[in-house]
Every structure is written in structure tokens, then in C-alpha cells.
Structure 1
Amino acid sequence: RFFQACLTKTDYGIKAQEYLTGRGITPEIIERFSIGVALPNYNALLSALGKRGCSAGLLVQAGLAVNYDRGPMDKFRGRVMIPIQDPRGHVVGFGGRILEQNSQQMAKYMNTGETEWFNKRTLLFGMNVALKEIKKRRQAVIVEGYMDAISLHAAGIDWAVASMGTAFAQEQAKLLARAADEVVFSYDSDAAGQRATVRAVSIAKEAGLKVRVLIVPDGKDPDEFVRKHGKDAYLRLIETAVSGIEFQMQYVISQNNVSNLAGKVEAVSNILPFLLECKNEIEVAQHIKTLAQRLTIDEGLIMSEYRKLSRKNDRGEAVSKWQIQPNVLSTEDLAEQLLLYVILKNTDLALVYRDKIDSVGFMSKFRGEIYEGLLKQLDAGSKSAADKLFTELSNEAATELAQIMTKDLAEENGEKLVDDCLRQMRRGALERSYEEHRLRADEYERLGDDRFLQELAESQKIKDEIKKLY
């Protein structure tokens, strides 16, 4: 109520109202979502609620104030304030969007931290206002951020909810499954949004939901698109949204150079686990047929690989890094992360092992970018290379670096750890090469081409090299 009063009864609130009007957010939508504004003062909320008997300590605990050296201050200042409510309409947290466009040093969006009431995994923004329409349509549109959801509601798409970030969770999927039969993901079209959609599709299917994916054209987010093109254009995007598995296949293919056999093998390997999530073999057969046509690979070979993987899955064996938990890494991923962690902490090792690391290379292009950036800093004579890397990297590589640097490892023997990581990375590279030659041998044998003997010999040679590593 305080934030709402600041919006409607202060001069600063006029600026916020102009911003909201410019985004097509009407007074009715402002009321529906209880939108307000935080004043730019350092203690406006602390003072107002303090007079009503609310202690600074409690506001800090709730994530609305922060303790500084000079004492507690308001966490949210100069922001449009959006209450985050549970499905019953209880306010459990807040999101704030910066108003001053010249405040580049400030984060554009900020949330209250998680508390015992506010757990993002169990909540969907807008569920309390969208629930009735979701139940009526048996469909929900899922976007990333609360401004996306609010803009869709303003345009009349009032069955939209937001996952408040790109980490869609099993708890959120189960929440939706109680109200809807189908979900349509409409995440941002950038690289992070697409990766998140790939994982989210699997999670939603696991909850028993039918899943489709809406691709917003021209790299726009849903908020920008619906404000520019309107409700009818967005409804057409919903109508033409592709199935979840179709999107996953398209994404994987786009991430591999399928003009050569190695890229095709990698693409098939990453797509097969998604096929295991299909409900029946008829659906699987159709997708394999489509995949074979796209990659110009024999349909029978893909089906054979699928059945092998299916048998592994039936025995409870792990089949892919794409499985439901998005943070589970393959051994090769982990080896690359650990290697970078060690050489970033001890840059002398980066120079000692430079030739060996170069000969193996990185499976992840973003981890490769981190490594090349580190060498560039070291070659320039920098003594604190890791500290300067963040400003030089792409957003995806910087995110990867931040994840790597949060690890907490004992480093009694850095050289041994580097050797172990390089061995695992080498094994991963050899296994991919082995699979490429084996599939090529199968294809040549099917065509009656004598070159299959050469490919078999090469695959056996690689298999022997793998054994020598351990």
C-alpha cells in the first residue's frame, strides 16, 4: 500500500505513471497487479513503516532493506515496484524495475531475496490473476520476466505467467499441471532464453503437460513484440508454436555444424535423450524419420542408436547431460570447469601446461573463450588476469566464469588435478571421434563401400587410445 501511495500521491509517482503508460500499462492493469513505485530516497520505506511499528531488522530480513556501514537503508529506490504474490494472492516478495535510464551502474531488475515465504521454484508470477483464465483455456503461456507477463495481460493475453528468470522448475510445472493441459513457452529469443527453453520443455513434459514453444521473431522479447504488434499478432504466434520436441531438435541442430559427419553425430547424440521423453514409439518413429531427412543420415542407424539408449535408460543408467536437472554436468564439462578453476587460481600452471591444453582443446566454446582470454591477459603481462577477464568476455562466457569461480576446492596438488582434467578431456574428445568413425563405418557398410574396413580400423585404434588413458 505504501508503494501504491507513492505511485498515485507523489510527484515522483507521476514519472513512474508516464513510464507505465508508455509501455501500454493501463490503470486497470496497475490495479490488477498492485503496481507501485519506490521513491529515490534512502529511507522512505524504513521511515514510513517504522512509524507503524515495523523494525528495520524485520525489513532487512524480508529483503526490503539492507544493512550498510552507515546503518540500514531501503533496498529498492527509484524503481517501479511489482508485488510477487502466491496463487492465493498473498504478497511474498517484490520485483523492482529501475526508472532512471542514466543509472547504468544499477541493475535494471532487482528482486527481494528468497525467504521462507518466497521461493521462486514454487511460484509463478501472475498465477493469482491468471489462474481463472488458465483453467478456462486449459493452457498457460509462460514467459521469463514479470514485465513480459504484465505487458501480455495489458494486451489481453491474460493467461500468461512468468517463471521470474530462466530456471523453470519441477515445482512450477506441477503447479501448472493442476490447472492446464498445455503450456506454451515464450522465453526471450537470445541464447540464454533458448537454452532455458530446451530444459524447460523436458521439465514440463515430465509433469504430464503438452508442450509447445513460441518463437518471437527478430530476437524480440514478448513484451517488446506485443507492444509493437498487438494482441492478434501474438495470438498468431501462439497458434503456430512448434511442439516442444520439435524446438529441441531445431535448437540442437542449430548448435552443431551439421555440414560434416562429426556435427551430425553430435546432434543425433544430443537429440536422442529428448526422444526418450516421447509418449509412444509412433511419435518417436516420426521424429526419427524427420531427423534422418534433415541430416541426410540413414533412418535405421538413428533408430538403432535410439534403441541402445532406450535400453540404457530402462536399466536406470544416466543417458545425457540434457536430463531434467539443468545443473548436472557431464564428466567432460566438469573436467573443463575444474581445469579452468585451477589455472585461474594459479596462472603459472596455465603457462606450464599451455601446449598440452592447446592440444586437447575445450568442448565448450565459452570455456574455450575464457582460456583464450586468460592467455591474452598473461601474454600482456597481467598479474591478476582473472579479475580483468569479466569485462573482456561475452555474456555467456562471463556467466560460465562466474560459475567456475564460485567453486571451493582444496588445491594441495594443482598439477595432479590439471593432469586428471586433461586426461578426462582427452577421453571425451576421443569418444566423440570414435563415435564419428563408428557411424561412418556403419554407413559405408550399408552402402557396400569397402572404406568401412578403414573406418573400423580407425575406430579400433581410437578405442585402444582410450584404454591407454586409464
Structure 2
Amino acid sequence: MPGKITRDSIDAVRMRSDILAVVGEYVQLERRGSLWWGCCPFHNEKTPSFCVTPDRGIYHCFGCKKHGNVISFVEEMEGIPFPEAVDRLAKQFSVELKYEEGTFVPDEGANLNKKYIELYTRVAGTFHYMLTNTEAGKFALDYIKGRGISDEIIERFNLGYSPGDRYYLRKFLRSKNFSDEFLDGSGLFSRNYKNIAFFSDRLMFPITDKNGNVVAFGGRFLRGNMEHTGKYMNSTDLPWYQKGEILYGFSFARQAIRQKRKVIFCEGYMDCIAYHQCGVDYAVAPLGTALTESQIRLVKNIVDEVILSFDSDGAGQAATKRAILMCRSQGIPTRVVHLNGGKDPAEIMILFGKEHLTEAVESSIFDFEHLVMTLKQSYPVDTPEGKARIAKELFDYVDALQSDIQKESTLGKIAVAIGLSTEAVSRDFYNRSELNNRLASYSALRRQNEKGEHPDGAAQVKPDAELRTLLAVIADMNLFETMKAELGEDDFENPLARRLFTALKECHEEGDVSLDAVESRCQNDVISNLVEESVMSGEYSMNTEQSVKDGIRMMKRKTLMRRRQRLQDRLSEIQSSAHDGEELVTLFEEIMAVDKMLRDNSF
């Protein structure tokens, strides 16, 4: 049994290891004089505070205060013990290790995991042989070649075939002197029927860690009745493999990702392989699950942007939005590939060829544009409710952005996209409760208008500022004269509030302002419930006059702000085109007049 690694060997590893090469696998470094700087891999930051001093073989972060040498860096980044970090660097930089006899107690768990990884590597080789050199695997080989995959890519990804005889693998491994106890813990066999292989009669995709070690498998169903089995089967989480922390194809793509400073996240094994077949060698895929924060962190420090290429179906679009928000929350700019003519990259490659797929990648659009485009397909942008719902969903994107400048700029883009003023969009962003109340009102009104149905949950709508002002007027109808003199229907943004105001005005003109008359005019269960609840609770019977005056002033201010935005939009429009100066002067004067009214509260 080897003993403890000698101090001389440790010093030799530390001296001969290229700390720039090691750190550079995780961090984009930039030289400044004799030092190299980058964003710290141990905490989130935007301004580089992580410094490497190659002459001394050390690193230091001035933000989180992490520091050390090349060995401690590998320990931290890989989460491995000191002896394993030394051993890994020794192999990487060709240092022969020497040991002190009798003092080293190996980590039994780490040793066992290493043996299982060696087993998986051998099994992957067996599966690959079965695919490429046996009659039993010929149908699977024909299938994969029929999908446009070359011998070179089959070799690179070490694709294989698991035999249809579900007892074969156990018997084969026993013949190689593997014990039943060891095989029981391998994850290669059924938990309940231990002689039966987990994968059988499937096209096999070996899954490697970032160092290229086979740690798990994915298997695709190819023939027979799929009723009682899934199209894909994947290894479950194991002590040496957690699917949320590994990316399929990363060990093959890492160098290209580092060189190109970008990565494509696609949906599955075949999509990833299709991209590599087409020369897009910086594609990787999550493993049978949604993209995770840990998987994004694997590439965060070596990319300038992420490109998303998930399926075009509903699940794929949901995954795209979730991935956009996660990438943006980690400060990574994101683009989205739109595939025309097929649902995924593998299908596009077969139907239209390599050039079509590479062009789709080169034409990928910014994540914000993608979200706006898909939301406009879901909601009508020409209605107040549609605008509000698009804005609400885009606010999740704004929340994920990492700087106030980005947030403010994007709020302006939302305003342009849905045809509202920046002030209105910003107001909704910073006051979500008012937006949610307005959306609830829209929904209730729409449900009632559809085939005369009445919303069961009408009483659940919470009144916004406009509705609260009107409910205060109902508590003292003498105040309606004041409101009518100051406001009109166009001053109300909330459709329920606008309808209630119109009903009050009509009742007032006819001289009957009873609750029955108001509710009869409204013909709306939502409004009726709100009115009845407010009267019964007496909520608006105190400080009523002041509440109404404050509400009127608030609505007049909002009307002026909307008017100013319309003037500003028109000004921007004519400034960008050949136009005489007369309208420009008029617009400037009107904007100045509105600004004065807002500033002096003279409205």
C-alpha cells in the first residue's frame, strides 16, 4: 500500500504545474503587466478581482479573499481531497510521485468510485464494439448512420449498443472476475432483478465527466413495443455521478468553448451530436433534466455568451425561458436559435443539411427579442390586457438582469415593443400589486363578456387606486359632482373603473344614484360585489372627501404623464425623418407646458 506523498513530490508538482493553464480552464484571464486578472470562480462578480501571479505560482481574490497555490485551486474547484489533487496534477504535468511507506490511508469511498468509473469505461468499450463490429449491433449502426452521423463522430462520442440479452452483461462481467457485490452497486443492473441489465437492446451514449471519464450512460429505444418503456433511459444519480452537475459532450467541447468563448445548450444526446457532426463543436446538452445552475457554472467563466437551442414545442419553449432567466441571473448574455422546418437540430440536419443548421446558429437572436416574439404569439398586443400580460411576463426577465442600467434600458424596450409609455411600464414594474389587480379585473370582465358567463371569483378582485376612488364617491354621492367636473372616461385605465364611472355618470344625469340603479347600469357581477362589499364594510366612509380629492389628483397626473409620453414619442418620430420645424416647435412647447403643470401641480 502506498504511503503518504513525500514533501519533495508535492513541491515538484507545485513547481512544475502551470498555474495559468490550470486556472485558465475555469477563468478567462487577462494580462496586466506581470499579473493575470479575471472574475473570481469562487463568488459571483462582474469586475475582475481575482489575480494570478505565475512567477510565484499563487492566486488571490481581493473580493472573497480566497487564495492559495495550484494544488489548493484544484482542491477547491473539483471538491476533491489534497492527495487526489496532487495526483491529478502529477499526471497532467508528468511528475512521478514518491510515497512514504505505511503512513497513507486511502479514501475508501474515492477508491471505490474510481473502480466504478474504470468499470464504466470498460463497459462503454464493450458496447462500442457491439455497435461497430457485431451483427447484433448492425441495425443500431445502420440507424445512427441513417441519421447522418459519420464514423468519426461515432468514434469521438464512443457510441455503442447494449445487447438484447438482458443477462449477457452480468455473465460477461463475472467472467472478468468482477464480484456480485461490486456489480450490485454499479447502477448497471436492475435493483429488483440483479442479473438483468438496466440497458438492453438500445443505442448507447456514454456520459463523461469534464475530464473524459465515463461515469454514466444514456440509452435510446430503437425497436419493438415502446408502450412499457421510455424512448430514452438514463443512469440514475450515483455517488460518482450527479446528472445535474454534468453536461453531455462537455469533455469533447470544452476546448472549442474556451476558444470561441461561447457554448450552445441543446436538448439531448442526438441534438448535441448533430451539432458536432455539422462542425458546431461547442454544443453540449443537459442530461435528461432541465438545465441547472450547476451546469451553467461549468461554463460561466469561459464564455462570453450562451446560445440556447431547445425544441420548438411547448416544453422546449418553457425550458428556453427558464434557461434565459438562469443565465441572465448569472450575468451571461444569451441568444436563442430558431429552427425553421424541424423541431430539433437532429431533424434539421437530416432534412436540410449542415449549412441550414449552421446558418440557424449564426442567425440566433437576442433573448429579449425571442421572449417578445413568443409572447406576442400568446397574447394580443393590440388590447390593454394583452399588453399588460406581456409586460408582466417580461418583468421576470428584467428581474434577472444584474445591473440597474440594464433594467432601465429593458423597461424602455418593453414600452416600445408593446406600444406603451416608458413611465407606464416602469410604474407597473415597480408596483406589481396594482398590475396584478388590473389583470384580475381584465380576466373577470372577459369571463363575463364571454357567452354571458359570470365569474365565480368576482369578489376576489382587489380594487386598485382608480376603483378605490370611485368606491369612496359611492360612500358619499355628493362628491360625484366634483369628480365629474375634473375627470372623463379617458382618465381611467382600469376597464372596470371606466365602466363604473360611466354608470355613475348616467345615473347622476337621470337623478337616481341608488345602489340598485348603479348596479343595474353596470351589469357586471365584479363591480356589484365590490360596491356591495365596500358599502357593507364602511371602509370608505372615513376621510371620504380627502380620499376622493387625492384620487382625482392622482388620475389627472397619470393622464398628463400619458399625454407627455405621446408627445415625446411623436417628437422622436419626426426628429428621425425629414420634417419641417413648425410641428417640432409646437411639440416642444406642448411638452414644456405639460412639464410645468406636472412640476407645479397645476392640474
TM-score, normalised relative to structure 2: 0.53
**Residue 98 of structure 1: how far off its partner (Å):** 1.2
| TM-aligned CA distance change 1:436 to 1:286, over 3 Å | farther
Equivalent residues in 2 for 1:48-87, closer than 5 Å: 48-68=172-192, 72-87=195-210
Q: Provide the rounded CA distance (Å) in 1 between the counterparts of 2:255 and 2:277.
A: 16
2:163 to 17, 39, 43: 39
1:255 to 378, 382, 389: 378
Tell me which residue corresponds to 1:386.
none
**Residue 266 of structure 1: how far off its partner (Å):** 2.2
Q: Report the 3-state secondary structure (helix = DSSP H, G, I; strand = E; otherwise coil) of the residue aligned with 2:177.
A: coil
Q: Which amino acid aligns with 2:391?
A: V
Q: Provide the rounded CA distance (Å) in 2 between the counterparts of 1:234 and 1:17.
A: 23
| Unmatched runs of 5 consecutive residues or more in structure 2 | 1-124, 441-452, 469-483, 502-525, 538-603
Tell me which residue corresponds to 1:299.
422
Task: Check conservation: 1:24, 1:227, Cα contact below 8 A.
Answer: yes
Task: Check conservation: 2:244, 2:287, Cα contact below 8 A.
Answer: no
1:142 to 265, 268, 275: 265
1:158-212 deviation per Cα after TM superposition (whole angstroms, max 9, x unaligned): 1100012451111111111122111100000000000011011111122221111
1:455 to 492, 497, 503: 497
Task: Check conservation: 1:157, 1:231, Cα contact below 8 A.
Answer: no
| TM-aligned CA distance change 1:3 to 1:462, over 3 Å | farther
Tell me which residue corresponds to 2:154.
30
Tell me which residue corresponds to 1:410.
none
| TM-aligned CA distance change 1:436 to 1:77, over 3 Å | farther
In the alignment, is residue 10 of structure 1 matched against residue 49 of structure 2? no
Task: Check conservation: 2:207, 2:248, Cα contact below 8 A.
Answer: yes
Q: Which amino acid aligns with 1:224?
A: E
**Residue 107 of structure 1: how far off its partner (Å):** 1.2
**Residue 9 of structure 1: how far off its partner (Å):** 3.0
Q: Report the 3-state secondary structure (helix = DSSP H, G, I; strand = E; otherwise coil) of the residue aligned with 1:141.
A: strand
Equivalent residues in 2 for 1:50-129, closer than 5 Å: 50-68=174-192, 72-100=195-223, 102-129=225-252
1:404-462 deviation per Cα after TM superposition (whole angstroms, max 9, x unaligned): xxxxxxxxxxxxxxxxxxxxx878x625x859979xxxxxx9x9743546717689975
Tell me which residue corresponds to 2:400.
277
Q: Provide the rounded CA distance (Å) in 2 between the counterparts of 1:94 and 1:434.
A: 55
1:5-61 deviation per Cα after TM superposition (whole angstroms, max 9, x unaligned): 211332111111111110111121111111110011121111111212334454443
Q: Provide the rounded CA distance (Å) in 2 between the counterparts of 1:136 and 1:9.
A: 35
| TM-aligned CA distance change 1:194 to 1:437, over 3 Å | farther
Task: Check conservation: 2:331, 2:401, Cα contact below 8 A.
Answer: no
Equivalent residues in 2 for 1:111-190, closer than 5 Å: 111-190=234-313
Q: Report the 3-state secondary structure (helix = DSSP H, G, I; strand = E; otherwise coil) of the residue aligned with 2:400.
A: coil
Task: Check conservation: 1:166, 1:193, Cα contact below 8 A.
Answer: no
1:103-139 deviation per Cα after TM superposition (whole angstroms, max 9, x unaligned): 4443111101111222121111000000000000001
**Residue 65 of structure 1: how far off its partner (Å):** 0.9
Q: Provide the rounded CA distance (Å) in 2 between the counterparts of 1:61 and 1:153.
A: 34
Task: Check conservation: 2:249, 2:283, Cα contact below 8 A.
Answer: yes
Q: Provide the rounded CA distance (Å) in 2 between the counterparts of 1:463 and 1:92.
A: 65
> Alignment RMSD, CA only?
3.4
Q: Which sits farther off after the overlay, 193-202 or 254-263? A: 254-263
Q: Which sits farther off after the overlay, 80-89 or 253-262? A: 253-262
| TM-aligned CA distance change 1:193 to 1:57, over 3 Å | farther
Task: Check conservation: 1:79, 1:99, Cα contact below 8 A.
Answer: yes
Q: Which amino acid aligns with 2:497?
A: E
Q: Which amino acid aligns with 1:73?
A: I
Q: Which amino acid aligns with 1:46?
A: R
Q: Which sits farther off after the overlay, 3-12 or 88-97? A: 3-12
Tell me which residue corresponds to 1:374.
none
**Residue 237 of structure 1: how far off its partner (Å):** 1.5
Task: Check conservation: 1:56, 1:65, Cα contact below 8 A.
Answer: no
Q: Which amino acid aligns with 2:268?
A: G
Higher relative contact order (CA 8 A, sep 6+): 1
Q: Provide the rounded CA distance (Å) in 1 between the counterparts of 2:278 and 2:245.
A: 26
Q: Which amino acid aligns with 2:461?
A: L
Q: Provide the rounded CA distance (Å) in 2 between the counterparts of 1:464 and 1:124.
A: 59
Q: Provide the rounded CA distance (Å) in 2 between the counterparts of 1:231 and 1:464.
A: 66
Q: Provide the rounded CA distance (Å) in 2 between the counterparts of 1:108 and 1:30.
A: 20
Q: Provide the rounded CA distance (Å) in 2 between the counterparts of 1:22 and 1:189.
A: 23
In the alignment, is residue 430 of structure 1 matched against residue 554 of structure 2? no
Task: Check conservation: 2:217, 2:235, Cα contact below 8 A.
Answer: yes
Q: Provide the rounded CA distance (Å) in 1 between the counterparts of 2:370 and 2:531.
A: 34
Q: Which amino acid aligns with 2:158?
A: S
**Residue 224 of structure 1: how far off its partner (Å):** 0.8
Q: Provide the rounded CA distance (Å) in 1 between the counterparts of 2:368 and 2:289.
A: 18
Q: Provide the rounded CA distance (Å) in 1 between the counterparts of 2:531 and 2:309.
A: 44
Tell me which residue corresponds to 2:327.
204
Q: Report the 3-state secondary structure (helix = DSSP H, G, I; strand = E; otherwise coil) of the residue aligned with 1:72.
A: coil
Q: Which sits farther off after the overlay, 88-97 or 219-228? A: 219-228
Q: Report the 3-state secondary structure (helix = DSSP H, G, I; strand = E; otherwise coil) of the residue aligned with 1:292.
A: helix
**Residue 239 of structure 1: how far off its partner (Å):** 2.1
| TM-aligned CA distance change 1:40 to 1:213, over 3 Å | same
Q: Report the 3-state secondary structure (helix = DSSP H, G, I; strand = E; otherwise coil) of the residue aligned with 1:218.
A: coil
Q: Which amino acid aligns with 1:108?
A: K
Tell me which residue corresponds to 2:24.
none
Q: Which amino acid aligns with 1:23?
A: R
Q: Provide the rounded CA distance (Å) in 2 between the counterparts of 1:124 and 1:88.
A: 12
Task: Check conservation: 1:262, 1:436, Cα contact below 8 A.
Answer: no
**Residue 230 of structure 1: how far off its partner (Å):** 2.6
| TM-aligned CA distance change 1:84 to 1:465, over 3 Å | farther
Q: Provide the rounded CA distance (Å) in 1 between the counterparts of 2:530 and 2:159.
A: 62
Equivalent residues in 2 for 1:196-235, closer than 5 Å: 196-235=319-358
Task: Check conservation: 2:329, 2:401, Cα contact below 8 A.
Answer: no
Q: Which amino acid aligns with 2:318?
A: R
Q: Which amino acid aligns with 1:176?
A: V
Q: Which amino acid aligns with 1:430?
A: V
| TM-aligned CA distance change 1:360 to 1:48, over 3 Å | farther
Q: Which amino acid aligns with 1:455?
A: A
Q: Provide the rounded CA distance (Å) in 1 between the counterparts of 2:466 and 2:293.
A: 35
Q: Provide the rounded CA distance (Å) in 1 between the counterparts of 2:344 and 2:465.
A: 38
Percent identity between the two aligned chains: 29
